[in-house]
Chain A
């Protein structure tokens, strides 16, 4: 046998085995042609768009198994009402809690290391109300005693970081940011949302913010999905917004396991309304360099849903 043939055959056999293996291991996937790398939904209500997206993704059961301890990390950074789009949409978070519990999760906890007073943020963002109504638990993130040291061997500037223990103990977690403009990092989406799981944020700011954001995303416990709330987006004066006029009803939702791709897609969507250059959002390119994902959206299998 020639070398070339050998390689061809091996590759073919390998691919066949892998396909067979995945079919065998996961009979659920037989019903879906192939799970898309990204699902984008437009034109619906937050909860409705999430339900539609999960249909394409093969159901929440693909991500949450019975008896699991689930953590949802929305952006609840600011003491603002939902209309400001400074925090993740409460309806979306509530629906996700509900779905996780329906999938048999033992416990669903929600937290953020807020920038403003945590109780005011939790309450006024509407997230506490939505989470507790759906049967989830809000966990405080206000004190350093909740955070435990974790090593980041792949980090460039950030070699270790303290992460909230709820997340360390979780079986799976969802990263659920809101799409918004940000004065510091330029955009605050899925990667930037990681800054709410750590204790010492000033370190990021004084040690190359854009690199540190990418570094913290190299933590080996990745979210099972990045769910970007673009129902309302903050177009300018982020991350807090000066008035509700800074918010824009995009009525969209972007979901992907690939955090770089998710942020890239979100920025392209955002740019249709408010121009932003992706090169300026330095942490995205830094993330790609660290192999966290790809900005090449055309190489991905994207499912687009219009409601």
Chain B
């Protein structure tokens, strides 16, 4: 096999995955095929949280057979780092010396502590460490909160110009879903990952990323791996200079497979053809073995990691306690239909913001810390003018890769009670001004708010809470300011609304009717 073939395949696959993921995350006109969400389901953290056994087995086999291919072609954050270092021409032959990579020792204590912390917290139902560290969720937030607004801005400029020529092929889009908190977090993630990538290649993946650390543990035993044929190697170090994972020790002729992301940049860099990506049988004598000193280092790292975890462990109950709202009347978020309950949603969601992009009504907004630190950055429903949960839409339930929002068929979604509207007659326009209104009843898809006879020809809203699904149609359109006369109170555990009764109507044949005038 030619030495550049694996790298070419990697680049082609990575480009496809990155383009599809980015487009799907930035899709502000909702034109991308919904089926693309499959790409998000094969991400490791979503697969763990959604309990997708099949995908986990696939990813496990991928790692033990081929190494950390995942990090190079499946993880959009990994590919984003490659793009950034490619633009800055890191590790390129023709560059000045300082642009080369150098072999470094692994930071095992840090990376395994972070991994252990994520796992430990997850076992007690807290996904918060993963929310901040998961590469997929971070990529999602960067795309949704930074790339997407830029794309929308471009669209709006084009639209303004088109409107001058009375052309309506484009349309204006107002950005409702980026909050200060989500913007800051996404920016921080992009700056951190970006600077690490430009400075030291895949340092993020080998220092911070829990997915990288976990796959590293598996890829140590990978069948296919980049191997150094010591009979050919002259220790020149060209491979190490191209290695963005900084894992090739050319002097010791060893590769740290826990850090190798299988990018294959090293393969065609070797002038002696000493490097190959092969199973063990094909390389007889040249099998690289870790030198003795490495064992000591591993032991040291193990001790450090264990100590760090032992210190973290008692903290968990303290953190877990802190998550309970101090005041029971504290305002709670409205969680999307399919999330089942506030508790479940908090445990499962890592705030990738995919649902935020795809909500056609743009009512899902990332929270700040107002609902407690455990809900921070996770989406909740916000109703504003002309924006409420569409009765016939299930898109967020279909695409959530974590299954934090479980898939709902339309009939189930239409009876899922995410909250219940509360009507305050003392604020109502009809009661206060004695004029017609009925905007709430008009917007109610299930007639949980109905206009009933009041004074003269006036009608007054009346609530049937058992029918209410909490879609917020009424709240979004209620003209009363500043406090609306009708608003949705969230259900901490989603209920089931009664299905609206269909009235039997006496059939009058239209042919028997006259004009009536």
Contact = CB atoms under 8 A, between A and B. Distances in A.
Interface of A: 40, 42-43, 79, 109, 115-117, 119-120, 124, 137-140, 142-143, 145-146, 165-166, 169, 182-186, 201-211, 235-240, 242-243, 245-246, 248-252, 264-265, 268-273, 277, 279-280, 282, 297, 302, 304
B30 A184 contact: no
Contact of A184 (B168, B441, B447, B517): B441
A268 B503 CA distance: 23
Contacts of A117: 360-361, 390, 393
Question: A-side binding surface: helix, strand, loop or mixed?
Answer: mixed
A85 to B, nearest CB: 13
B93 to A, nearest CB: 50
Contacts of A270: 516
6 contacts: A109-B168, A138-B168, A142-B171, A143-B174, A207-B435, A246-B503
B433 interface: yes
Interface of B: 30, 160, 163, 166, 168, 171-174, 360-361, 385-386, 390-393, 429, 433, 435-439, 441-447, 450-451, 457, 459, 477-481, 500, 502-505, 508, 510-511, 513-517
Given A184-B438, A185-B438, A248-B510, A240 B445 contact: yes
Contacts of A207: 435
Contacts of A280: 457
A184 B477 CA distance: 12
Contacts of B508: 248, 272-273
A205 B502 contact: no
Given A184-B441, A243-B502, A279-B457, A120 B393 contact: yes
Contacts of B502: 242-243, 245
A240 B459 CA distance: 18
B479 A203 contact: yes
A221 B160 CA distance: 26
B435 A210 contact: yes
Given A139-B168, A210-B435, A273-B508, A119 B30 contact: yes
Given A43-B511, A115-B386, A235-B505, A209 B442 contact: no
Contacts of A204: 479
B91 to A, nearest CB: 46
The 3 closest A-B pairs by CB, nearest first: A184-B438, A143-B172, A206-B479
B448 to A, nearest CB: 10
B447 A237 contact: yes
B162 to A, nearest CB: 11
B480 A79 contact: no
**Most chain B CB within a 10 A radius of its CB, from A40, A202, A239:** A202
Given A250-B513, A265-B517, A272-B514, A119 B435 contact: no
A184 B474 CA distance: 12
Given A43-B511, A117-B390, A272-B513, A206 B437 contact: yes
Contacts of B385: 202
Contacts of B442: 115, 182-184, 238-240
A183 B450 CA distance: 8
Contact of A242 (B392, B446, B480): B446
A272 B513 CA distance: 7
B393 A249 contact: no
Contacts of B361: 117
B517 A268 contact: yes
Given A183-B451, A237-B447, A209 B435 contact: yes
Contacts of B441: 183-184
B433 A208 contact: yes
Contacts of B450: 183
Contacts, number: 157
B515 A282 contact: no
Given A143-B173, A269-B516, A280-B457, A184 B446 contact: no
Given A139-B168, A209-B437, A120 B500 contact: no
B396 to A, nearest CB: 14
Contacts of A210: 435-436
A302 to B, nearest CB: 7
B24 to A, nearest CB: 18
Contacts of A138: 168
Given A240-B443, A269-B515, A297-B517, 20 more contacts: A120-B393, A140-B168, A140-B171, A142-B386, A145-B160, A146-B163, A166-B168, A184-B441, A185-B438, A186-B436, A202-B439, A203-B479, A206-B479, A207-B435, A238-B442, A242-B445, A248-B508, A269-B513, A272-B508, A304-B515
A269 B516 CA distance: 5
A250 B510 contact: yes
Contacts of A272: 508, 513-514, 516
A293 to B, nearest CB: 14
B436 A271 contact: no
A270 to B, nearest CB: 8
Contacts of B437: 184, 205-206, 209
A183 B446 contact: no
Contacts of A186: 436, 457, 459
Contacts of A184: 436-439, 441-442, 451
**Most chain A CB within a 10 A radius of its CB, from B361, B435, B500:** B435
Nearest to B445: A240
B516 A271 contact: yes
B360 to A, nearest CB: 5
B393 A242 contact: no
Given A208-B433, A242-B447, A120 B360 contact: yes
**Most chain A CB within a 10 A radius of its CB, from B361, B386, B500, B508:** B386
Nearest to A38: B517
Contacts of B510: 42-43, 248-252
A86 to B, nearest CB: 10
Contacts of A209: 435-438
Contacts of B160: 145
Given A40-B515, A269-B517, A183 B168 contact: no
B491 to A, nearest CB: 22
A15 B516 CA distance: 33
A261 to B, nearest CB: 9
Nearest to B173: A143
**Most chain A CB within a 10 A radius of its CB, from B385, B437, B444, B500:** B437
Nearest to B507: A248
Nearest to B443: A115
B121 to A, nearest CB: 38
Contact of B392 (A120, A237, A246): A120
A240 B248 CA distance: 66
Contacts of B480: 206
A239 B442 CA distance: 6
A79 B505 CA distance: 24
B457 A282 contact: yes
A251 B513 CA distance: 10
B245 to A, nearest CB: 45
B513 A245 contact: no
B513 A236 contact: no
